Chains A and B, each alone.
Chain A
Amino acid sequence: MMSTVYGTDQENLLEIRNLSIRYRTRRGELRAVEDATLLVKPGESVAIIGESGSGKTTLISAIVRMLPLNARLATGTMRYRTAADSLVHLDTATEREMRPLRWKEIVMVFQASQSSFNPVSRIYTQFLDTARAHNPAARTSDVMDRSRKLLELVALDGEKVLHSFPHELSGGMKQRTLIALGLLLEPRLIILDEPTTALDLLTQKKILKILRSLRDQYRFGMVFVTHDLGIVSRLADRVVVMYAGSIVEDAPWEEFYQDPKHPYSQGLIRAVPKLTTAIEKLYSIPGTTPDLVEKIQGCPFAPRCPFRMEICTRENPPLLPVALGRSAACHLLKEDSSESTP
C-alpha cells in the first residue's frame, strides 16, 4: 500500500511550497507558519501533529483560504490540481475563485463540528443548500437519494437524520452526518481538523473506521490535524510534525514510528503511554514553545533540545531529505548524513 503511494510518479494533488503565514497582533506580527512545504498525492492521507499553537490549524485553513481576517500569506505558493487536471493557484485565488472549489474539490471540516449545522433548519436543507451552491440545477430528489445513501454509508438512518434538526442528533451522529455531507460532491481532498475531539472513545473508533473505509472506497486525499498518535496510526500514510510554525519532520508513518529522526519527534513518541511502561516514567518534553511574535534566532526547538549544539542557537536548520521519502530539519541529522555517507 505504502509503496504504491511513494513509489510511483503520481502528480501531486496539493503542493504547498515555502508557505509563511503571519497574523497581525497588537504586539506585532505573529509567525504562525514559517516556510512550510507540504505535498499531498491523490488518495494519500497525511497527518499533521504537533503541540497546540504550532500552526497546524493555520496551515490547513490556508488551503481553503479561510484564515481569520488578521492573517496574511507572506511568502510561498499553494497549488491544487483539480479533477479536470488544471492547476489552481490557491495562494492568489480570489474569494470568487475559491467558492467553486470549496466542498466540491476540497472539503474542510473545522474543529468543533458539534455546531456545524444551522440550528434552525433540518439536515436535508443543508445537504440541498450545499448541492445547489455548486449546481443550481440539482434536482431535489437526486440530492435526497444521494444524501440518504451517504448517511447510510456512515451507519446512520438516512431518512430519519435528513428530517431531523441538528439538536436532535448526538455528537457522534453530527460528526458522521458532517462526514456524509463532506462526500456529497465527491471531493478529491478532505481536510479535517481534529476529527474526533469531543467524542467518546467508542464513537472515535467508529468514526475512524468509517473514515478508513470511505477513503479506501472513494480514494480521496486526506490531510488531518490531531494530537492523538493512535489516530495517526489508524489513518495516516504519512506524518508531518510541526513545531513553532515550522515543519520539522515529514516521514511515512511506519518509519516515523520506528525511528523518529528529529529530537522533537523523538520526544513526542516517547511521550506516548505504552502498556508496558509505568505511567510515572512517561516522558515529557521540558520547557515551553517559543513566543512566535518575537524573532527566533536559530532553531526554534533549540532551547528545549537535549542534543543542542553551538550551531543550533545561530542557524535555523532547513528541512532536508534524510532518507528516501523522509525529511527533517535538524543540524544533528545533517552531520549524521555527512558522516555516514563519506
Chain B
Amino acid sequence: MIGKGSLPVFIAGKLLKVVFTVWIVTTLIFFLIRLMPSNPIERYIQSLVVQYGMTYEESSARASALFAIDLEANLFSQYLDYLSGAIRLDFGTSFLSPGVPVTAIIAARLPWTLFTVGMGLLFAFALGIVLGALAAYRRDAWWEPVVSGTSSFLSAVPDFLIAIFLILLFGVFTWGGRGSIVPIFQLRGNYGPGVTPGWNWAFLRSVWGHGFVPILTYFFSQIGIWVLLMKGSTTSCLNSDYATIARARGLRPEKILRSYIGRNAMLPIATEFAMRLGFILGGSLIIEQLFVYQGLGLELLKATSNRDYPLMQAIFLVMTVAIVLSNLFAELLYGVLDPRIRQEGKGPHG
C-alpha cells in the first residue's frame, strides 16, 4: 500500500504530469488550428459575399470593423497571449459572436452533452455488465448466443447509422395510421419552443422528450462493447482456481458470483469505464449534428467551420482535460480496486 506520507507526493506527481500533458496538447492545438486553410476573417468575408452579394471590399471593411482581432500579429506573441489568458481561465471572446466570452458558450452547451452522452454511457454500462456477466455465467442458456450476437452486431455498427435508424424508427415510420412514436419535431433541438428553461415540469418533460432518442443512440452504440468486455472478463474469472476453490469451500453461488468472480471481472471494466468518461465530451459531434442537438460537439463543429479560433481552442482544451483527468482517475481507481497494483506503487517509497 502507498504509505501515508507518500500519498500527497504521489498525487502531486500525477497532477504535474496532467498539467504537462494538457500544456503540450493545448500548444499543438493552438498551432494546428492556425495551420488549417483559411481563417475566420476570410470565412466571414466569403459568407457575406455569397449570402448578401456584397463586393469583396465592402465585406472586408465590414469584417475588420467587426472583428477585434489582429491575425497579422506575430504568431508567438499570439500564443503567449493565449497561454497567459488560459492560465487565468480567460479564453477570450468568440469571433463569431463578438463580445460573448468563450467560457459562457461552453458553460451553456456542456451540460446538454454531459446529460445525453453521460446518460447513454451510464445505462449502457449498467446493463452491459449485467448482461455480460450473465452471458458468461450461463454459457449454456439458449439466450446466450442471442445476447452475444446482438452485442457483436451493435458494436460493429457505426453510431450515426444507429442514429439514422432510430430517427426513422421513432420519428418517421407511421404505425397503422397512428403517426410516429415520437413527433418528428422532438428529434430536433434540446427542448420545445413553448417552454421556459428552469426547474419546471413542462421544461423537464420537453428536455426528456428531446433527449430520449439521442440517449438511446449513445446507449445502443456502446452497450455491445460493454457486454462483450464483461463477458470476456467474467469468463476468464469463472475458470480461475479461486472460483473453483470457492465452490469447493461450499460458498453460495451468489456469493461466488459477487465477491469472487464479479469483483475480479470488474477490474479491467472499471478502468475502461473511467477512461471512457473522458470521451463523453468528444464523442458526440456527428450525433449532435444529426439531432441538431445544441451541445458541445455541435458547437465545435460550428466553431471549426467558421474558424472561430478562441472557441475551438477552448472546446478542444475542455476535451483534452476531460480525457487526461479520466485517465488519471482510471489509474487511481485501479490502485484502489486491485491490491496487487497498490503493492507495486509501494516499491520506490518503501
Contacts and interface: CB of A to CB of B under 8 A. Distances in A.
Residue from B248, B255, B267, B343 having most chain A Cβ neighbours under 10 A: B248
Contacts of A121: 259, 263
B347 interface: no
Interface string B247-258: 111111001000
Given A118-B260, A118-B264, A120-B267, A99 B340 contact: no
B242 interface: yes
Given A110-B248, A129-B259, A119 B140 contact: no
Nearest to B252: A133
B290 interface: no
B259 A118 contact: yes
Contacts of B241: 110, 112-116
Given A110-B241, A116-B242, A119-B264, A130 B250 contact: yes
B250 A103 contact: yes
Interface string A95-129: 00001111110011110111111111100000001
A17 interface: no
A102 B267 contact: no
Contact of B248 (A66, A69, A112, A120): A66
A257 interface: no
For B246, B248, B249, the residue with the greatest tally of chain A CB atoms inside 10 Å of its CB is B249
- Most A CB within 10 A of own CB, among B140, B246, B252: B246
Contact of A120 (B140, B250, B252, B263): B263
Contacts of B263: 118, 120-121
Contacts of B251: 129-130, 133
A185 B214 CA distance: 56
Interface in A167-216: 167-168, 178, 181
Nearest to A184: B249
B81 interface: no
A133 B250 contact: yes
Given A69-B140, A99-B252, A110-B241, A119 B247 contact: no
Contacts of B255: 129, 133
A134 interface: yes
B242 A133 contact: no
A64 interface: yes
Contacts of A120: 263-264, 267, 337-339
A114 B244 CA distance: 13
Interface in A64-101: 64, 66, 69, 99-101
Contacts of B248: 64, 66, 102-103, 107-110
Contacts of B252: 99, 133
B37 to A, nearest CB: 53
B3 to A, nearest CB: 16
Nearest to A106: B248
Contacts of B264: 118-120
A66 B240 CA distance: 14
B245 interface: yes
Nearest to B343: A167
A83 B177 CA distance: 73
Nearest to B342: A165
Given A115-B241, A120-B267, A120-B338, A165 B249 contact: no
A130 B340 contact: no
A109 B249 CA distance: 9
A69 B247 CA distance: 14
- Among A117, A119, A121, A165, chain B packs the most CB atoms within 10 A around the CB of A119
Contacts of A102: 247-250
Contacts of B259: 118, 121, 129
A115 B240 contact: yes
Contacts of B267: 120
Contacts of A130: 249-251
Nearest to B251: A133
Nearest to B244: A110
Contacts of B260: 118
Given A69-B140, A110-B245, A119 B339 contact: yes
7 contacts: A69-B140, A112-B241, A118-B263, A119-B340, A120-B339, A129-B249, A167-B339
Given A133-B252, A178-B245, 16 more contacts: A66-B248, A102-B248, A103-B250, A113-B245, A116-B245, A118-B246, A119-B340, A120-B264, A129-B246, A129-B255, A130-B250, A133-B251, A165-B339, A165-B340, A167-B343, A168-B343
Closest 3 CB pairs of A and B: A102-B250, A115-B241, A116-B245
